[in-house]
Amino acid sequence: MGLLSDPNRRRALISLLTRLNTPICLVCYMAGVAWFMGLAFEPFTLRTYMSENAMGSTMVEERFPAGERALATGREFAAHKKKVGGMPVDWLVKTMQARGLEVFTQSFSRTLPFPDENKERYMVKGTNVYGILRAPRAPRTEALVLSAPCSPGDNNQAVGLLLGLAQYFRNQIYWAKDIIFLVNEHDLIGMQAWLEGYHHTNTTGMDWSPLQGRGGSIQAALSLELSSDVITSLDLVLEGLNGQLPNLDLANLFYAFCQKIGVLCTIQGKLQRNDWDSVSGYSHAVQTMMLMVMKQASGRPWGDHGLFLRYHIEAATIKGINSFRQYKTDATTIGRLLEGMYRKLNNLLERLHQSYFFYLMPSLSHFVSIGYYMPAFGLLTVILLLRALDLWVQLATPPTRTEDGVADIEQSSPGVLSVLTPLVISHLTGVALYTLPIRFQEMAVEHFPVSETEAVVLTAIAVYTAGLALPHNTHRFLSGEGTEQGWRVLKLVAVLYLAVLLGCTALINFSLGFILALTLVPVAAFVTPHIPKVLSAFILVILSPACTLLFSVFFFQELQEMPVSFQDGWLLYLSVISQGILDHFLYGSLVYPLIALLVYPCWLLFWNILFWK
Amino acid sequence: MAAYRYGYSAVLFILCGLSVFLVTNGQETILTGDDGAAAVDSPQTVTETAEQTAEQPAVEERQWEVTEVEEASPDEAAADKQDASAPETLVPPSVPRPKDDFQEELVIRPLHSGDIYASFQFRTLWETDFMRGNKVSHYRLFPKSLGQVISKFSVRELHISFTQGYWRTMQWGQPFLPAPPGAELWVWFQDSVTDVDGTWKELTNVLSGIFCASLNFIDSTNTVQPSASFKPLGISNVTDHRFLRYATLPREIVCTENLTPWKKLLPCGTKSLQLTELPLFSLQAGLAVLLKSEKLFHSSFHSQAVHIRPVCEDWQCKTTSWELRQTLSVVFDLHTSGQGKREWSLFKMFSRTLTDACPLASSSKVYIDITDNPEGEQFELIPATPLLSQAVVLGDRRTFSVYDLTQQITFGAVRSLNLLIRWKSTEGDMLRPLLHGERYVAGYGLQTGEIHTLMYNNHPYRSFPVLLLDSVPWYLRLYIHTLTVTSKAKDNKPSYIHYQPSKDRVRPHLLEMLVQLPPNSVTEVTVQFERALLKWTEYTPDPNHGFYVGSSVLSSLVPSIVAMDTNSTQERPLFSSFFPCKEESSYFVRVYTEPLLVNLPTPDFSMPYNVICLTCTVVAVGYGSLYNLLTRSFQIEEPSLGLAKRIANIIRKMRGVPPL
């Protein structure tokens, strides 16, 4: 810091930074991207290890014997489900009671803001059934949850296994925490209702009946999805609401038991490979990690576990998948795996807190901790700060034409209004983007031949596009000609705004922050009014948040090895937008308001600078 | 040793010669004289009362026992009633009478869930005076350790319970002896005590040693003085709550190390006493043989308690005696220990059978609750007993089969009693408990939260008042202005509120309310709180486990089920049943809600090194340089001259020419 207190050396440093600003920025961007891509390279990552002593050293024996009987129960459940045409509440209550659980039900109803075309639901009514296994000699202060969604599709094996485990667990003496077996209807909506009922909160305006029985504070939860009859491997889903992740020890626990029992386990549906030094091995790891980044960035819960994380409950979804034909896992093995996991969770003395909460996983056995991935993001944000410094210096040093006194005074005071107006207008556009789609859906449905969902999505796109035309000439009405100083001040504000915005986002949801930084930082760095308009406008639109989303959709499909045509991709894009809006209104996902209220206005500021005259 | 023994028994014998009234249950055997003394030199006198001989069971015929089974719930109403109504036996003055008396009993209640509830009660009565300066030095049945505690700390009443598990009211009904999870201690001191807090502190430390429990963690931050919820259960004219202290330790784990000292207090509980005083008998005797820790802790619920209180000796209450009541309740689980088979026996429950009564006991009985099984259609009881007893327990008229262990016939030919209960059908519904409470923490995040307490009144048509006691540690800062009481979606204004705000690190919040519960309703009490940030030394070693908040206590006089029963006229004459009689119209019940586990904002203790490094770096680099920049004044420095020029200047100065 002696560097800064010496005016000569400070001047030298600043002149160096301003002179070499563009090359440094380019190098930083490259380095940031390269760093990020390097994260998936195995020698650069850490092996996972169990941090929680209570789960590590104690050995448990898995003895669950009744896999076949569980499958039979699952078939019985399917039959009853078919008969009732929904959730067989009475049958479930009776079956759980017969297994010695305390059984309770909760009914809920929710009217969606607009119909969900993916899942074909609008007015949702349902019932959750849950049974509590009371731990002997425990004072009802702690609980674990095992849940299985009762979906109209095929999750009967999971319910059967849940009931089988309940029966087996009930006869054991070693439980120290109550275990709640939950069968939730309408997947996430039911789960949301149950969690809100359990914690007696209401964040999303859902109607639910209060819960009758509780087990104290929930320590951990697993959600079970076994969608096909034949299970070849188990997939671990970690990404929750708003990109929250459960403690890494939960993933470690799953991995440890898969290793012990000898079950094929995957993450993002990808098996682990040992050839990290080959190109294909590396690209496999990159694919796995990128899938995690994309899923996390979406901010939506990727399984029923996702909603638990808000309540500081470590949770994950275990999905049975059927894609590696030569292996086959029977229900007894899965039951034993779950038994082992629950016994270890039962041994916990404290909540899971020892291991990481912020991480990326290029494979189940390796992880990238926050300390490793943050520099990649840091390198990108440094560009913004460097540009801001450059602008600041340009604003501070008097213009070269010092003799022209009149012009000098005029230029040094660009006026607060000329900066404030674009800020206000772009944010108002953001507010319009946030509110109008839901508000105007009826009107849109009346006037145009579209469904409600399409109306919402198309309104959103329309508002978004309209925003491009609106605000970029405002300063002219206020202060006549835009000045050279004017856009510099505006850009300085915009660049710092973006830096703060991205920094905060990346702290909460690294993936979202990084993807936004990847596209918005170049925009922020290069845009001035003096570059070729048409070309830059095109680049700016390409790098806008909406197009980022579009590319992400295609990229995600590519990563999942399910490439789509442009036509399908566009439809998918529309449904992703509607899902994003629904996630916000149903579960409180923050990505849609973040984009609409903050990121998009910020991008509009740069658009404004480009058309500054 | 022999000489000492002789003298000691002689003194006793003289003392026993005095004539007094004696309170016992009607048909009990009265064992006089010291057994130890009897073994040495004094003639053993066993007197059987008239009732007992009259009650010799006629085989194959069910007979009603004349006894009143005491109301099991320890409350003032019940105590008064019991004191007033306990039948007295007038012992002829010539018969030497003991000043102390010991009774033991075991109540077994088969529960509807298939579980089984066993409750032991051991009661020692001793007519003595620990106060008024006279030193009590000779102890026979009454444990000396507790006697010394009573006299040293001027205790009027002492109630201590250790419980592992939560009583599931909705499955099991009301317990005979309610207790909250963890340890609970409440003590009434004599009004002669001046420094109550100091005495309380010492007392908890002494009890901690006696019971091998962490009662020494009771300090001012978890002690309260309830104004209404805990009244003296024995005879007392002092109800000034300055002399009452109440504390719970919800975190206390109860295990064998607490059971052993508790058993040592029993006259027939431990080996050492048996060896010295009763060499002729087996090592353990009476019901205490069943108290095996490996079985008692293989259960769903375990609760042991000690209650000490002064009671009246006779109905005029001329003399008082001290009552020590040791109780132990345990619920065995059908699924974990029964392998799903609905069958229970003493051996299966306790891995022991009964072979004799405690020789020191004046009464030793086993009661089986057969109310739901009057004709034997629900379960089968082997061996059958002809002796029946009826009592109003917790407002419900219950019928019990009685096994008197002092009778040899009880043990049959095999000389061992192994009661077997075998279910025949699983039908039948349990009567819903009329009062029931629940509690939970609502909300998420680590800043605020809300405590919800639910009180269920399941009575179909009668409302009754409930006294709610809540003691919340100071680190949950209650926002008392957010207190709401609602029942049936309407505001329910409590008729009495006693609130004592907390002081940080000194005392907890105390909230007592008298709320009227409308019939067939749920009353919800909510209050918001803020989670305090503790000092880093105040966190427990496992801060991420959470912090416990003790159970809230609901005390109430609940309308009795007997009074609810309109068809009871079949047993009673019509003229007796028009107005509900006072004793049976309501009964006292205390319900504890579950304790809460609340997470407080917790720093990451695993990273002190990182924190120190980061802080030091920030302070050194950030603050230091900023301070430097802000305080230093900057001046343009003259460019320094070269060496040649400086020398030239010196020469020029010497020459008197202005420098370059």
What is the per-residue pLDDT across A438-470, written as a single tens digit (0 to 9) for each? Answer: 888 878 888 888 888 888 888 899 889 888 886
The β-bridge relationship of strands B223-224 and B435-442 is unpaired
Q: Assess A535–B contact: CB distance below 8 Å, yes or no.
A: no
Chain B residues in contact with A354 by the CB 8 A cut-off are: 606
**CA-to-CA separations, A509 to A34, A374, A505, A506, in angstroms, rounded:** 20, 11, 6, 5
Is pLDDT of B20 > 50? no
What does the pLDDT read at residue B617? 87
Q: Residue range A306-331: average pLDDT?
A: 88
- B96-100 mean pLDDT: 65
Residue of B329, B349, B347 whose CA lies nearest to B254 = B329
Is the CB of B597 less than 8 angstroms away from the CB of A4? no
A58 vs A173 pLDDT, higher one: A173
Determine the number of helices (DSSP H) and then strands (DSSP E) in chain A.
24, 12
Task: Note which residues in 47-66 of chain A have CB less than 8 A from chain B.
Answer: none
Q: Please list, residue by residue across A143-157, b when 16 or more beta carbons sit within 10 angstroms of its beta carbon and e when fewer do.
A: bbbbbbbbbeeebbb
Among residues A118, A204, A112, A113, the alpha carbon closest in space to that of A438 is found at A113
Give the pLDDT score at A376: 94
Residue B196 makes CB contacts below 8 A (sequence gap 6+) with: B189, B242, B243, B245
* Nearest-by-CA chain B residue for A203: B443
Q: How many CB atoms lie within 10 A of CB B491?
A: 8
B276: pLDDT strictly greater than 60: no
Residue to test with chain B: of A4, A132, A133, A140, most B Cβ within 10 A = A140
Cβ atoms within 10 Å of A447's Cβ, excluding its own: 10
A504 min Cα distance to partner chain B (Å)? 19
Q: Nearest chain A residue to B181 by CA: give it.
A: A139
Q: Among A83-92, A311-320, A397-406, B490-499, name the one with the lowest average pLDDT.
A: A397-406
User: What pLDDT sits at residue A405?
Assistant: 43
CA distance A218 to B542: 17
Contact A172/B548, CB-based, under 8 Å? no
Alpha carbon dihedral A214, A220, A225, A231, in 10-degree steps, equals -130
Asked if residue B26 has pLDDT above 50, the reply is no
DSSP state string for B441-459: EE--SSSEEEEEEEEEE--
Residue B361: enclosing H or E segment and its boundaries? none
pLDDT tier, A423 (very low <50, low <70, confident <90, very high otherwise): confident
Would you say the C-alpha torsion A581, A585, A588, A594 has a positive or negative sign? positive
- A547's tokens: 């197009």
- Lowest average pLDDT, out of A91-95, A534-538, A559-563, B315-319, goes to B315-319
Reported as a single tens digit per residue, the pLDDT across A191-242 is 999 999 999 998 888 899 999 889 999 999 999 998 877 888 899 999 999 9
Please name the residue of chain B whose CA is at the shortest distance from the CA of residue A102.
B171
CB–CB contact A136 B441 (8 Å): no
Report the gap between the CA of A497 and the closest CA in chain B (Å).
23
Q: Mean pLDDT check: name the lowest of A223-227, A562-566, B87-91, B599-603.
A: B87-91
Residues in chain A closer than 8 A to B453 (CB atoms): none
Asked if B632 has any chain A CB less than 8 Å from its own CB, the reply is: yes
Closest CA–CA distance from residue B542 to any residue of chain A (Å): 7
> For B443, which of A7, A136, A201 is closest by C-beta distance?
A201
Cα–Cα dist B632/B634, whole Å: 6
Q: Which residue in this structure is represented by tokens 């209404």?
A: B228
In the prediction, which pLDDT does B452 show? Answer: 94
pLDDT tens per residue, range A513-522: 999 999 999 9
β-strand pairing of B155-164 with B301-312: antiparallel
Q: What fold, for B435-598?
A: Immunoglobulin-like (2.60.40)
Q: Where are the alpha helices (DSSP H) in A46-108?
A: 53-56, 67-84, 89-98
Q: Which residue of A has its CA nearest to B628?
A: A5
Question: Shortest Cα distance from A3 to chain B (angstroms)?
Answer: 10
Task: Return the number of other C-beta atoms located less than 10 Å from residue B240's C-beta.
Answer: 10
Residue A167: list chain B partners with CB under 8 A: none
- Please name the residue of chain A whose CA is at the shortest distance from the CA of residue B620: A1
Q: What's the rounded mean pLDDT across residues A38-60?
A: 85
- What integer pLDDT is reported at residue B462 of this predicted model? 86
Reported residue count of chain A is 613
Is ipTM strictly over 0.85?
Answer: yes
- Half-sphere exposure (Cβ direction) of A98: Cα atoms closer than 13 Å: 9
Question: For residues A294-329, b (16+ Cβ closer than 10 Å) or e, as one string?
Answer: bbbbbbbbbbbbbbbbbbbbbbbbbbbbeeeeeeeb
**Chain A closest-CA separation from residue B582 CA (Å):** 34
Does pLDDT of B35 surpass 90? no
Residues β-bridged to residue B469? B512, B553
- For residue A576, the model assigns a pLDDT of 92
DSSP state, residue B434: S
Q: Is residue B37 over pLDDT 50? A: no
How far B476 CA lies from chain A's nearest CA (Å)? Answer: 16
User: What is the rounded average pLDDT of the residues B425-454?
Assistant: 87
Is the pLDDT at B619 greater than 90? The verdict is no
**Cα dihedral angle (B245, B249, B253, B259), rounded to 10 degrees?**
0
Q: Which tens digits make up the pLDDT trace of B346-388?
A: 888 898 888 888 888 889 999 998 887 777 777 888 888 878 8
Q: Do A5 and B629 touch (CB under 8 A)?
A: yes
Identify the CA nearest to B158 among candidates B189, B136, B125.
Answer: B189
What single letter denotes the amino acid at residue B22?
Answer: L
CA distance B313 to A211: 50
User: Residue B360 is encoded by which pair of tokens?
Assistant: 């020191």
Q: Report pLDDT for B430.
A: 74
Look up tokens 């109209």; give the residue.
A152
Instruction: Provide, as residue numbers in chain B, all residues whose Cβ is less than 8 Å from the Cβ of A143.
Output: none
* B340 reaches A (C-beta below 8 A): yes
Q: Measure the CA–CA gap between B290 and B359, rounded to whole angstroms.
A: 16
3-state class of B242 per DSSP? helix
Q: If you search the block for the tokens 């926050």, which residue do you land on? A: A370
Could you tell me which chain A residue has the CA closest to the CA of B114?
Answer: A100
User: How high is the pLDDT of residue A2?
Assistant: 57
Q: Which residue has the higher pLDDT, B580 or B625?
A: B625
Q: Which helix (H) or strand (E) holds B224?
A: strand B223-224
Cβ atoms of B63 and B103 within 8 Å: the answer is: no
Tell me the β-bridge partners of B500.
B510
**B453 vs A: CB within 8 A:** no
- Is B298 touching A (CB cutoff 8 A)? yes
Q: What is the pLDDT of residues A431-445, one digit of tens each?
A: 999 999 888 887 888
What is the nearest CA distance from B487 to chain A, expressed in angstroms? 14
Rounded to an integer, the average pLDDT of B106-127 is 90
How far off is chain A from B298, nearest CA to CA, in Å? 8
Partner residue opposite A139 with nearest CB, options B165, B442, B544: B165
Predicted pLDDT at B12: 40
Measure the CA dihedral B208/B210/B211/B216, to 10°: 0
Q: What is the 3-state secondary structure (H, E, C) of B161-222?
A: EEEECCCCHHHHCCCCCCCCCEEEEEEEECCCCCCHHHHHHHHHHHHHHHHCCCHHHCCCCC
Residues of chain B neighbouring A140 (CB-CB closer than 8 A): 166, 181, 594-595
pLDDT in tens, A111-145: 988 888 888 888 899 999 999 999 998 999 999 99
Domain limits of chain B? 2-423, 435-598, 617-655
Share of chain A above pLDDT 90, in %: 54
Disruptive mutation site among A101, A133, A137 for chain B (greatest number of B CBs within 10 Å):
A137
B432 contact A CB<8A: no
User: What is residue B50's predicted lDDT score, i.e. its pLDDT?
Assistant: 35
Query: Taking all residues of chain A, what is their mean pLDDT, rounded to a whole number?
Result: 87
Residues 5-34 of A with CB under 8 A from B: 5, 7
- For residues A348 and A220, is the Cβ–Cβ distance under 8 A? yes
- B299 closest CB neighbour out of A136, A142, A310: A136
Residues A350, B543: C-beta atoms closer than 8 Å? yes
Chain A contacts of B115, Cβ < 8 Å?
Answer: none
Which of the two residues, B339 and B541, has the higher pLDDT score? B541
Split at pLDDT 50, 70, 90, the class of B307 is very high
Mutate to test the interface with A, among B336, B432, B552 (most CBs of A within 10 A): B336
Which alpha helices (DSSP H) does A509-529 contain, by range? 510-526
Q: pLDDT category, B614, cuts 50, 70, 90?
A: confident
Nearest to A88 by CA among A129, A121, A47: A129
Give the chain A residue nearest B446 (alpha carbons).
A312
pLDDT surpassing 90 at residue A37? yes
Tell me which residue of B172, B176, B178 sits closest to B113, measured CA to CA. B172
- Residue A141 sits at the chain B interface (C-beta within 8 Å): yes
C-beta of residue B466 within 8 angstroms of C-beta of residue B455: yes
pLDDT at A533: 83
* φ/ψ (deg, to 5) at B442: -105, 160
Instruction: Provide the chain A residues 305-344 that lie in CB contact (below 8 A) with chain B.
Output: 310-312
Predicted pLDDT at B567? 54
Alpha-carbon distances, residue A302 vs A15, A128, A291, A305, A530 (angstroms): 49, 20, 12, 8, 45
Q: Does B135 touch chain A (CB under 8 A)?
A: no
**What residues contact B23, with CB distance under 8 A and at least 6 apart?**
B86, B88, B89, B125, B312, B313, B314
Preceding omega of A43 cis (within 30 degrees of 0): no
Chosen from B111, B332, B333 to mutate, greatest number of chain A CBs within 10 A: B333
CB nearest to B542's CB, from A170, A199, A349: A349
pLDDT in tens, B48-81: 333 333 333 333 444 555 444 444 344 444 334 4
Whole-structure pTM value = 0.86
Any CB–CB contact under 8 A between A201 and chain B? yes
Does A216 contact B596 at a Cβ distance shorter than 8 Å?
A: yes
Q: Which residues contact B594 (CB under 8 A, 6 or more apart)?
A: A139, A140, A141, A216, B166, B181, B438, B439, B440, B551
Q: Check if B541 contacts A (Cβ < 8 Å).
A: no
At B287, which helix (H) or strand (E)?
none
∠ CA B235-B241-B246 to the nearest 5 degrees?
95
The Cα B545–Cα B600 span in angstroms is 9
Across the range B492-506, mean pLDDT stands at 93
Segment A92-110 shows an average pLDDT of: 92
Q: Do the Cβ atoms of A137 and B302 come closer than 8 Å?
A: yes
The answer to whether residue A96 scores a pLDDT higher than 60 is yes
pLDDT tier at B320 (50, 70, 90 boundaries)? confident
Closest partner CB to B165 (pick from A136, A200, A201): A136
CA nearest to B320, candidates B648, B20, B642, B632:
B20
Q: Do the beta carbons of residue A261 and residue A315 sit within 8 Å?
A: no
Chain B, residues 520-539, CB within 8 A of chain A, namely none
